[in-house]
Amino acid sequence: MAIDADALWILLNAVRERQPLVHNITNFVVMNTTANALLALGASPAMVHALDEVEDFVAISQALVVNIGTLYPEQIAACKLAAQRARAGGVPWILDPVGAGATPYRQAAASALTRLRPNVIRGNGSEILTLAQQARVGQGRGVDSLHDSEAAVEAARTLAAETGAVVAVTGAVDYVTDGAKMVEIHNGHPLMARVTGLGCSATAIIGAFLAVERDPLMATVAGLAVFGVAGEMAAEWAAGPGSLQVALLDALYALTQSDLAQRLKLDKE
Amino acid sequence: MAIDADALWILLNAVRERQPLVHNITNFVVMNTTANALLALGASPAMVHALDEVEDFVAISQALVVNIGTLYPEQIAACKLAAQRARAGGVPWILDPVGAGATPYRQAAASALTRLRPNVIRGNGSEILTLAQQARVGQGRGVDSLHDSEAAVEAARTLAAETGAVVAVTGAVDYVTDGAKMVEIHNGHPLMARVTGLGCSATAIIGAFLAVERDPLMATVAGLAVFGVAGEMAAEWAAGPGSLQVALLDALYALTQSDLAQRLKLDKE
Amino acid sequence: MAIDADALWILLNAVRERQPLVHNITNFVVMNTTANALLALGASPAMVHALDEVEDFVAISQALVVNIGTLYPEQIAACKLAAQRARAGGVPWILDPVGAGATPYRQAAASALTRLRPNVIRGNGSEILTLAQQARVGQGRGVDSLHDSEAAVEAARTLAAETGAVVAVTGAVDYVTDGAKMVEIHNGHPLMARVTGLGCSATAIIGAFLAVERDPLMATVAGLAVFGVAGEMAAEWAAGPGSLQVALLDALYALTQSDLAQRLKLDKE
């Protein structure tokens, strides 16, 4: 199937109609933001991380989102358990390796989760370079990227080929690859980098599309494109990062077929 | 005392004047939202969940709110300790059994807390059906309801009669019962379901009214009516779920006697 | 160097240009709010609290912010470890003793952290009175202040002299002292007290200024003044606490030299 505005619109409608249950094990900074982004899109989010219930919860979910932003030992254990259960039960899952490379602890956690075969990995330039073992530990600026997304394009391709995951590296341009094909998304707005958790929200939105679309490349492009278009629309309305976040939720909720058709900017190799 | 707009206005003023300290043990998704809703209403919220201090904190609070949204073992223990201390000290407390029925772990926690005699229980249709043991485990859509509030009216009555708690089941219509009396609240707006944590915020708002009103039926109707009216006012202004959340806090803060008098829609049996 | 609008503007520009990495170990209520305030200002926030990585993370950060709002045993241990590493490595750090005095557990944690020599301590009147041992335990209204900031001015001076920290007590007027000098900041707006976590955000903003300015008195005045001016600008636009929070982030992002020059109200002893 061609990846174009029509195909993405069909997928967005599928999310809105089916309201898939998206299980999130995510960080404390963005739990609220992420849940609101998923609800505005039309999905049904749940944030569940107790070791005693993550397996049961994955089993009733249509997708799993794993994000290591504010990781701690019990949460890493819960992420692993949930990821294994997702793989065993055919529930698609996506990994967001927040700040991979900033500390050895964080890098070890990200690597261990990568080995549990996520269907998709989404990170910024520094995170993807780290996961592809092309960057040294400790060089990151915490959770923000030191590298343009463009600098990590080849790392993304390598990581995808090695892991079998679709890899997305996001930034001024978003790149999505399965190791062979490469899709560029030229939507979004620079002001989005001044709101916390929008990368994490993009990951969660991809999770919602994974729940309705089996092809992870298609689902990832759909998630990033819809999120980027909504961000652009929000930036036109916003006076700064506070109003951008509010307007982004409104735009995700209100996004129409013509918004998508008129604004979508994809480049395919 | 009659439950009408005049009575509710007196209670809202009591909250605004006395600024009761409301102790919340709640989930990580909604901590910020809930604290802001309580502050906008006029109460003084505190989010305190460490085992080492929950009992001391309940002792200086005027009401306790217990919410199991992102439960984990230590938090369940803290909830139990706080609930027992509240009962012993005459501090009214309300239980929000988020996602009860989604997993066995969650159902066990909700049932154990129910046995500690909350003054009020507020949930959506699926949660109240589960607690009244009229629904099977695992059939929920995570934390969103599969059932209209109307489908759980009889379950609410049963649960109230069995536990001695006032039970509120919220949705398109909110139902509040003490097992005998039943009050329906026809306020609110469908867009509210697209913002995370508004059910949890409604629970916290009821907590603030419990701090100033001894009759739990009256306090619960007051909380849900004020929250529903504020939500309606916000929905008239909002362009989507992002701006709804912002406007809801503004409306809680600004709500006047005539807003309440003109908009309140109660039905009493 | 004189503390005036020109000096503060230079520091604000330094934050915007250098985008310092600010490591936060903070409470779950305000993580999102605080991260957004730092991003809007121009800093690069990270919320990292795992025992296994806090020391590594402090080592790559330009400032550390420690806030005990929703403390629990592991977090207190992480705070201590991070504070010691900060002191050893010359990374400036600031303590926010949220709710100190509300419970013995909270007071013990605040005292223990105070002994680890923060460069700055910021609290409300009740918190600073408690830390200066001029108030009894348990008399607080949870996390909100029972005392005007003015009531804690002498306690602030004492605490600064005893600990070697710059002490800020915030409220209707903000007071900043190193034990000898005292600066008053008459900016801000009463509506700010109706939004959760703005005190915590002020602390984090001071953290960002500590990253670019070695004099902790100057950095603290800069942080509180910029935050107060942004709050005033936001209050002029806002219809209530919901829109105030949104507008505050927009104002932090957009604040100009003339905003600062026209609105700044400092009194120096």
* Residue A267 located in a structural domain: no
Contacts of C69 in chain B (CB under 8 A): 47
Q: What angle do CA C64, C70, C73 make, to 5 degrees?
A: 85
Note whether B112 contacts A: Cβ–Cβ < 8 A.
Answer: no
Note whether C137 contacts B: Cβ–Cβ < 8 A.
Answer: no
> Which residue among A33, A144, A239 places its CB closest to the CB of C32?
A33
**CATH code at C159?**
3.40.1190.20
C-alpha atoms less than 13 angstroms from C-alpha of C263 in its C-beta half-sphere: 23
8 Å CB contact between A142 and C43: no
Q: Give the pLDDT confidence score for residue B87 in this predicted structure.
A: 97
pLDDT in tens, C64-105: 999 999 999 999 999 999 999 999 999 999 999 999 989 999
Say which residues have a Cβ less than 8 Å from residue B38's Cβ, sequence separation at least 6: B22, B24, B44, B45, B204, B205, B207, B208
Note whether C227 contacts A: Cβ–Cβ < 8 A.
Answer: no
The answer to whether A50 contacts B28, with C-beta atoms less than 8 Å apart, is no
Torsion of CA B231, B233, B234, B235, to 10 degrees: 90
Note whether A85 contacts C: Cβ–Cβ < 8 A.
Answer: no
* Residue A199 located in a structural domain: yes
> Which residue among C33, C194, C243 places its CB closest to the CB of B246?
C243
> Which residue among C71, C73, C194 places its CB closest to the CB of B39?
C194
DSSP class per residue in B6-40 = HHHHHHHHHHHHH--EEEEE--TTTHHHHHHHHHH
Q: Where are the beta strands (DSSP E) in A18-73?
A: 21-25, 44-47, 63-67
User: Hey, which residues 51-70 in chain C have their CB within 8 Å of chain A?
Assistant: 51-53, 56-57, 60-61
Outline where B145-215 has alpha helix (H): 153-163, 198-210
How far is the C-alpha of B255 from the C-alpha of B41, rounded, in Å? 9
Torsion of CA C13, C14, C19, C20, to 10 degrees: -150
DSSP class per residue in A206-253 = HHHHHTT-S-HHHHHHHHHHHHHHHHHHHHHH-SSHHHHHHHHHHHHH
Chain A: closest CA distance from residue B112 (Å): 16
ipTM of the complex as predicted: 0.95
Section B50-65 average pLDDT = 97
Q: Is B215 left (phi over 0), alpha (psi -120 to 50) or beta?
A: beta
Rounded mean pLDDT of chain B?
95
The residue whose two tokens read 């009050």 is B183
* Residue A268 located in a structural domain: no
> Which residue among C23, C39, C51 places its CB closest to the CB of A241?
C39
* Residue A190 located in a structural domain: yes
Note whether C78 contacts A: Cβ–Cβ < 8 A.
Answer: no
Beta strand C63-67 with C182-185 is: unpaired
Q: Which residues pair with A66 in a beta bridge?
A: A25, A95
Q: Is the dihedral of CA B220, B221, B222, B223 positive or negative?
A: positive
Question: How many CB atoms are closer than 10 A to CB A224?
Answer: 26
The answer to whether B47 contacts C28, with C-beta atoms less than 8 Å apart, is yes
Minimal Cα distance from A249: which residue of B? B242
How far is the C-alpha of B77 from the C-alpha of B82, rounded, in Å? 9
How far is the C-alpha of B195 from the C-alpha of A120, rounded, in Å? 27
How far is the C-alpha of A137 from the C-alpha of A102, rounded, in Å? 6
The answer to whether A143 contacts C46, with C-beta atoms less than 8 Å apart, is yes
Chain A: closest CA distance from residue B194 (Å): 5
DSSP class per residue in C25-68 = E--TTTHHHHHHHHHHHT-EEEE---TTTHHHHHHT-SEEEEE-
Note whether C29 contacts B: Cβ–Cβ < 8 A.
Answer: yes
Closest CA to C191 of C152, C245, C150, C227: C245
Note whether B72 contacts C: Cβ–Cβ < 8 A.
Answer: no
Q: Give the pLDDT confidence score for residue C111 in this predicted structure.
A: 95
8 Å CB contact between A67 and A39: no
Contacts of A112 in chain C (CB under 8 A): none
Structural domain count of chain B: 1
Say which residues have a Cβ less than 8 Å from residue A88's Cβ, sequence separation at least 6: none
Note whether A28 contacts C: Cβ–Cβ < 8 A.
Answer: yes
- Answer whether 0.90 is exceeded by the pTM: yes
Minimal Cα distance from A73: which residue of C? C50
Q: Please give the radius of gyration of chain B, using alpha carbons only, rounded to the nearest integer.
A: 17
How far is the C-alpha of B89 from the C-alpha of A133, rounded, in Å? 58
Chain B: closest CA distance from residue C41 (Å): 20
Note whether A267 contacts B: Cβ–Cβ < 8 A.
Answer: no
* Residue A127 located in a structural domain: yes
Query: Which domain, by its residues, includes C239?
Result: 5-264
Contacts of C29 in chain B (CB under 8 A): 31-32, 35, 47
* Residue C269 located in a structural domain: no
The answer to whether C253 contacts A246, with C-beta atoms less than 8 Å apart, is no
Backbone angles phi, psi at A266, to 5 degrees: -110, 145
pLDDT in tens, C33-49: 999 999 999 999 999 99
The residue whose two tokens read 């902790």 is C216
Question: What percent of chain B lies above the pLDDT cut of 90?
Answer: 91
Chain A: closest CA distance from residue C46 (Å): 6
Minimal Cα distance from B238: which residue of A? A250
* Residue A146 located in a structural domain: yes
Say which residues have a Cβ less than 8 Å from residue C236's Cβ, sequence separation at least 6: none
Distances (CA, A) of C178 to A234, C27, C160: 44, 27, 5
pLDDT tens, chain C, 269 aa long: 799 999 999 999 999 999 999 999 999 999 999 999 999 999 999 999 999 999 999 999 999 999 999 999 999 999 999 999 999 999 999 999 999 989 999 999 999 999 999 999 999 999 999 999 865 544 556 777 778 888 999 999 999 999 999 999 999 999 999 999 999 999 999 999 999 999 999 999 999 999 999 999 999 999 999 999 999 999 999 999 999 999 999 999 999 999 999 999 999 87
pLDDT in tens, B11-42: 999 999 999 999 999 999 999 999 999 999 99
3-state SS, residue C137: coil
8 Å CB contact between A114 and A97: yes
Task: Classify residue B133 by its DSSP letter.
Answer: T
pLDDT tens, chain A, 269 aa long: 799 999 999 999 999 999 999 999 999 999 999 999 999 999 999 999 999 999 999 999 999 999 999 999 999 999 999 999 999 999 999 999 999 989 999 999 999 999 999 999 999 999 999 999 865 544 556 777 778 888 999 999 999 999 999 999 999 999 999 999 999 999 999 999 999 999 999 999 999 999 999 999 999 999 999 999 999 999 999 999 999 999 999 999 999 999 999 999 999 87
How far is the C-alpha of C201 from the C-alpha of C122, rounded, in Å? 11
The answer to whether A29 contacts C47, with C-beta atoms less than 8 Å apart, is yes
* Residue A191 located in a structural domain: yes
3-state SS, residue C153: helix
Contacts of A28 in chain C (CB under 8 A): 28, 31, 47
8 Å CB contact between C11 and C53: no
Chain C: closest CA distance from residue B35 (Å): 6
